[in-house]
A and B are shown apart, each in its own frame.
Chain A
Amino acid sequence: MNTKSNASIRATVMSLLGERGVTQVADIEPLFSSGLLDSVAATEVLLALETDFGVDLSDEDFDITHIDTLASLEHFVASRTPA
């Protein structure tokens, strides 16, 4: 399940990385805390989560550190998206 969703959130991140000259990243490598991606890119990822995956960002306990690696981001999307 959710392979399509995961493929596209991965594609979103890879395209943001591509714009910054990065072509490869490990699934567990930090994206934001390492400085690979900046806050502008984080805004793009959040926008994608909200509009494409229906994640409710108005939850005051939303844990944004979920988006710091591809692995945790995909896991997060899978847990939030109806099968």
Chain B
Amino acid sequence: MANDNIASGFFRSSVAYGDRLFYSDASRNVSYGEMGVTVRRLAGHVSQKGRPRRVGILATRSFEAYAGILAAGFAGGAYVPINLKWPESRIVTLLGLMELDALIADVNGTSLLTPDVLAAAPDCIVIADAAKRPEVVRNSQSIVHFNEIEAEPLSQPMQVEADDLAYIIFTSGTTGLPKGVMISAGSLANYLAESRSWTALTPDDRLAETCDVTFDLTVHNLFLCVEAGASLHILSSLEMMAPGRFVRAREITVWMSVPTLIAMMRRNGSLKPGIFPSLRLSIFCGEPLPVAAAEAWAAATPNGVVENIYGPTEGTVICMRQRFTSPPVETKGRGILAIGKPYDSMEIAILDSEQQVLPEGQAGEIALSGPQLAIGYLGAPEQTADRFRNLRGKRWYLTGDLGLRDETGTYHHLGRTDNQVKVKGNRIELEEVEAHLRKAADTDVVAVIAWPVVDGSAQGLIGFCCSDKSDSEIEAAMLQSLPRYMVPSEIRIRNSLPVNINGKVDRRALFQQLEEAAQTTATGPARPDAAE
């Protein structure tokens, strides 16, 4: 019978392409053969007490992160990336939810293994060879380096069924804690079958990895890469800031990132025509793709195509795509590329506020149905029931994205129906940040605004509150419980905040104030600290 093990493709390539390069970062090149040996040993180690259910990945952009993901899959378990930017208290809380059987950490991840984190961590922990081993907190816990593993290697991928859990990826929630999106092996298999046809990777492809493994664009890159026997080239977070040299020196053929990267390169003038002759496919995702940005990127990649893709984590990476063409398929009045047409196996509907299907041309909430829908949110049945609905005999996911279908059957993205924003590709629920601001400022009167907005993408967050505390005290308190990218770059303390007709804090009025202040003080580009 069919085996939906997510590491099957990797296993085949580790046999067929043993000598070929699989993984490359600034300090290390690993072949498929070598990675195969590591993955089978690690899979054996985490299976000593039977098939693991879930394996935590306290690692990113590292050999250990990828070895951990593939080994978890090989052993028949689900992998659960843990964000290294989460503060200690959040890691402890979420470890309590995850019910891990094992934890894999790279050097940076191991530095987060404090006594409190270890107390919440599973018994079986494997750390990078170069990491200093922390003290275990109980007798049953064992921490070994990769090179100390003595367990019998697993010889082949465990039998996995379509309904089995493949991974859990966390996204921002509205309650103050992130939501864990649970994706099955069957959903991932469907995703790969759909994506294989248009990416058409071969063993000669060299893929650039720009994302952390906590972001599901890495699911796309990793699993399509390994089944094709291609190589994965990891940019450090620093190289992300000026990626030109990386792409050119490594002759990258496939690029995928958030559009913010294009904006950055355009701003400093480095995105010149023709500079990336090696790129044959460039994929942008996670934020609206401005037509001007797509044009500039296409000019830089004369031998390649540019694709704009759309999809929430809850629909397994992506489910719609639009190729950049000349003339471009544009979303009217917004200067952004359309999100295109759905994958064949996925159904898209535009719904009104009562979840009735809207006709062509009318804007409503984008809803998805089909084999890529998530199982739901980890340990959150109410939030799952709220977003995953049975409507007219089918299961649908309500994305919270506003959109419409035009007369050609092409879909367009028109923003959000709620207060979720993307800041440099990071999905953030403003309510989640506000919940933490309320606590840190010890007040009920708070608001968080995504600002400034450049090319339709938020560049940062500004917090407003009425509080007796100082902005630096509030910021320090928020950093205890939130990753830095979710803490507003500026906290403004006011005697009162504007309210709307319902008595709620009026975010729109605050946004207007920020815009007006920026226009009167600055003639140059708006920066968060240039206003007031």
Contacts and interface: CB of A to CB of B under 8 A. Distances in A.
B484 A62 contact: no
B272 A65 contact: no
Interface string A55-79: 0011111111101100000000000
Interface in A10-67: 32-35, 38-40, 42-43, 46, 50, 57-65, 67
Contacts of A46: 241-242, 268
Contact of B237 (A32, A50, A58, A62): A32
Interface in B249-272: 249, 268-270, 272
Interface string B203-244: 000000000000000000000000000000000111111101
Nearest to B112: A35
Contacts of B242: 46, 57, 62-64
A62 B244 contact: yes
Interface string B412-440: 00000000000000000000000000000
Contacts, number: 64
Nearest to B249: A61
A78 to B, nearest CB: 20
B238 A65 contact: yes
B144 interface: no
Contact of B270 (A33, A38, A57): A57
Contacts of B248: 60-61
B275 interface: yes
A29 B471 CA distance: 31
B236 A33 contact: yes
Contact of A58 (B236, B245, B269): B269
Interface of A: 32-35, 38-40, 42-43, 46, 50, 57-65, 67-68
Sort A-B residue pairs by CB-CB distance and give the 7 closest, nearest first.
A58-B269, A60-B244, A64-B242, A57-B268, A32-B238, A60-B275, A58-B270
Interface of B: 26, 84-85, 108, 111, 236-242, 244-245, 248-249, 268-270, 272, 275, 484, 489
Given A60-B245, A62-B270, A67-B238, 9 more contacts: A33-B26, A34-B108, A42-B241, A46-B268, A58-B270, A58-B272, A61-B244, A62-B242, A63-B242
25 contacts: A32-B237, A33-B237, A35-B84, A35-B108, A35-B111, A43-B241, A46-B242, A46-B268, A57-B269, A57-B270, A58-B270, A58-B272, A60-B270, A60-B275, A61-B244, A61-B245, A61-B249, A62-B244, A64-B239, A64-B241, A64-B242, A65-B236, A65-B238, A65-B239, A68-B238
